Amino acid sequence: MGEPRITPRTFKGMRDFLPQEMLRREELFQYLRTVYQRYGFAPVETPAVEYLDILMGKYGSEGEKLIYRLDYKGGQVLALRYDLTVPLARLAAEHRDLPKPFKRYQMQPVWRADRPQLRQGRYREFYQCDADIIGEADRVADAEILCLIGEVIDGLGLGTAKVRVNHRRILEGMVAAAGLPQEAGPAVLRAIDKVDKVGEEGIEAEFEREEIPKEARGLLLEFLQHPKGGRTEIEALREAYDDSGIQEGCADLLRIWECLDALGAPLDRFEFRLSLARGLDYYTGAVYEAFVDELPHIGSLAGGGRYDDLISVFSPESLPAVGAAIGFDRILTALEQMGKTSERSTATQVLVLRFSDDDEAAALRMTGRLRNAGIATEVVYRHGKLGKQIGVADKRGIPIVVFQGTDEAARGEWTLKELRTGEQNVVPDDKVATVVSKLLRH
């Protein structure tokens, strides 16, 4: 064919996943699936493509700029999904007969026309893994979600999961108490969202950047100095401010804490913190983000909140909702950094070796037999030297090789070699599968 005509390349910010990484990813997906199901969530998938008007007006102006549109001449504008929450809201409004409360999980890629920052792990295509409860206004549903993300993170073995919790009504109350109009809300949220990064010294510059009036800053600072903590600190806030938003938000959070306690969740995992803002427009109640204390640099591994008004955009029936997204890629990065991921690039358990033109039929026959016994088996297609073939198996992480020389072939025997220990067994033809199964169980 001569020179290649087309340079093989991938669009920046989107990734090929090769076997080593994919095996890790499949393992993490399976883990998440198990925990979600243990909490009573059922799977859902939605199309990659949504009508653009379904997506617009939900993510804030910055988010909307990042929606990929299709070049489609069908009269209506189509786009790739930006997250899994808005498609879920659309789905819940479209399939109105779904029994409520509807507890669903969903693990699918989303696309954002962002400037990719590969080192920071910001991609244009990445998976989201969401769990949401639709149709339950009682805050017991918030507690279930909080309990779930705490347990998901905790079960990874990365360290102790900590979940920071705040409430949109409290944040709105802060804005009102500081004498600012509600329109100033987003700017205040952006500023206080920086507190954990810039510290209280740096917050003044953020107020300046967000053009928050000087006379309001004192009260906002006072709020931010309110101690973080649990029930005691929520109750103290409720005592200190009359604002109806703050009253409502605190009552909600106390109800959530009550349910967390009843569910048996470790209460010291959850931290009420007024500096947690969380960006998305659609939240209306509690918001939260999960971290691992031992990995402060990695950022939040999960986050979510209550969004009681989103579905009514699509439905005459109002459907309260609450949910969380698990940061799949961040978790995988953290697991890799902690050396908690497998290095294997194959699930193959046995490689059948070959030394000459004459041993193909026997090797293929053994391969078929091992597979019939449920053993993941590959066979060498082109014969070669023993050492080289063992090297290939070892490099790929295949634990056992099976082969026969001419003499063994004449006697109907095979050599089984475990690569980890170097131990060898000579076994008759019809016992190979049984012995391999036994070795794999150890």
Q: Which two tokens stand for residue 27?
A: 């393992």
Q: Which of 213, 374 has the CB closer to a second copy?
A: 374
Cα–Cα distance, 414 to 425 (Å, whole number): 8
Question: Residue 201: phi, psi to the nearest 5?
Answer: -65, -35
Smallest distance, a second copy to C-beta of residue 388, A: 12
Angle between helices 214-224 and 195-209 (to 10 degrees): 170
Q: Print burial letters for 177-203: b (CB count within 10 Å at least 16), e (below 16).
A: bbebeeebbbbbbebbebbeeeeeeeb
Smallest distance, a second copy to C-beta of residue 348, A: 5
Cα–Cα distance, 433 to 373 (Å, whole number): 6
Q: Are 130 and 42 in contact (CB under 8 A)?
A: no
Q: Which of 103, 169 has the CB closer to a second copy?
A: 103
Smallest distance, a second copy to C-beta of residue 179, A: 28
The amino acid occupying position 412 is: G
Q: Which of 118, 347 has the CB closer to a second copy?
A: 347
Strands 270-272, 424-428: pairing kind: unpaired
Smallest distance, a second copy to C-beta of residue 42, A: 4
Q: Which of 209, 365 has the CB closer to a second copy?
A: 365
Smallest distance, a second copy to C-beta of residue 202, A: 35
Smallest distance, a second copy to C-beta of residue 339, A: 22
Among positive and negative, which fits the CA dihedral 180, 184, 186, 192?
negative
Cα–Cα distance, 410 to 406 (Å, whole number): 6
Q: Which of 103, 194 has the CB closer to a second copy?
A: 103
Smallest distance, a second copy to C-beta of residue 222, A: 34
Q: Which of 138, 196 has the CB closer to a second copy?
A: 138
DSSP state at residue 68: P
Q: Which of 7, 61 has the CB closer to a second copy?
A: 7
Q: Which of 295, 392 has the CB closer to a second copy?
A: 392
Q: Of 347, 339, 326, 300, whose CA–CA distance to 22 is shortest?
A: 347
Q: What stretches of 212-322 show up as alpha helix (H) in DSSP?
A: 214-224, 231-240, 244-262
Smallest distance, a second copy to C-beta of residue 368, A: 3
